[in-house]
A = this chain, B = another copy of it.
Amino acid sequence: MSYLRNCWYMAAWSDEVEAGGMLARRYLDEPVVLFRDSGGKVCAVHDRCPHRFAPLSKGKVENGTIACGYHGLTFDGCGKCVFNPHGKILQSMAVKHYAVAEAYRGIWIWMGEPETANLDFLRDLSFLETAPETAFSKGYLCGHGNYQLFVDNILDLTHVDFLHASTLGSGAFTRTRAKVAETGDRVTILRDCLDEVPSPLMRSIRNITEEDRVDYWNNVEWSPPAVMTLSGGNVPSGADREGPLNNMNTMNAHIVTPETGLTTHYFFATTRDFAVDDAEFNEKFARTRNQIFSTEDEPMIRAQQERMGDKNLWELQPLLLRIDEGSVRVRRKLEKMIEAENSTRS
């Protein structure tokens, strides 16, 4: 499988890698181990000792270095051997390392050559960092299905009306045509639903009925390789969207990273501008979201992938609908970027 390499993939939430701990995870089919050096900086190296190919993650992290648990070769966060119990350290005793950045409560890995890593390419997600704890939640799941199916899922929110009909859907997204736009390397998908039926979740939060009407809007913004924000809100039908009492805005991140060609790391987070200090609501809201992603989205994408087998989307000649505009643009854009990258490399 061909991936975009010169870009930042989300590797983990920051708190998944403690000082002195490690996290073994596969990205783009490569086994990687993350750990922190003695200064607390996150490092990433190939999770395979160059000696006999034991996973370094079966060893231990000590003083910010990682020692193989089989015969003891020890490496620093740049992959340089710093201890060979069996003789001299040679230049060749190195393990591949990856550039890593830590920002916005997350750890980001650059899968191309570390020298080419460029922080300018890291998407600004500072809203995640500044969110108050009682109005923030995040989660992770490792799902079955190619990562692009997880991207498609967010880029076409009409699925909400069918797959999440009992919580997030009311038919409004399906009834409202999206505006798709491209700016630089971003693709945005805007929906403005006027005088619409509130979703079950909205009814329960706003304490309104199915007869009440609301205005909804949401804006999905994709950037490569697979980072999406989803901001949205709603007000009683016709009310001022900027009004301090009425608006209920959430700001969400949906970030996916290929584990293998058929499995995906799915990171998600949400913050909001209502019930900001309500820890109980926050907890319940997080639980509902986790539940939806793990029992509705992931199983559908898994089933979709199962039906697609080892074919890619185009080979199967999908029947495209107008709702696919966003995801098709993103797929085409990403394909071009991968192609460009591959032609540069060769």
Residues on A lying within 8 angstroms of B by beta carbon are 31, 47-48, 50-55, 58-59, 67-73, 84-87, 92-93, 152, 156, 158-159, 161-163, 174, 299-300, 303-304, 306-308, 316, 318-324
Contacts and interface: CB of A to CB of B under 8 A. Distances in A.
A86 B303 contact: no
B152 A304 contact: no
A54 to B, nearest CB: 5
Contacts of A174: 72, 85-86
B71 A162 contact: yes
A319 B81 CA distance: 12
A282 to B, nearest CB: 30
B161 A304 contact: no
Contact of A322 (B50, B86, B307, B324): B86
A93 to B, nearest CB: 6
A300 B86 contact: no
B85 A300 contact: no
A306 B162 CA distance: 40
Contact of A161 (B31, B72, B161): B72
Contact of A53 (B58, B158, B162, B316): B316
A68 B162 contact: yes
Contact of A158 (B86, B161, B307): B86
Nearest to A160: B71
A92 B323 CA distance: 17
A299 B324 CA distance: 46
In terms of DSSP, what is the predominant structure of the interface of chain A?
A: loop
A319 B58 contact: no
B71 A321 contact: yes
A217 B132 CA distance: 63
A152 B58 contact: no
Cβ-closest 8 pairs across A and B: A50-B319, A48-B307, A53-B307, A72-B162, A86-B321, A54-B304, A85-B174, A86-B323
Nearest to A319: B50
Contact of A318 (B53, B86, B324): B53
A70 B321 contact: no
A70 B163 contact: yes
B322 A53 contact: no
A158 B71 contact: yes
Contacts of A92: 319
B86 A52 contact: no
A1 to B, nearest CB: 15
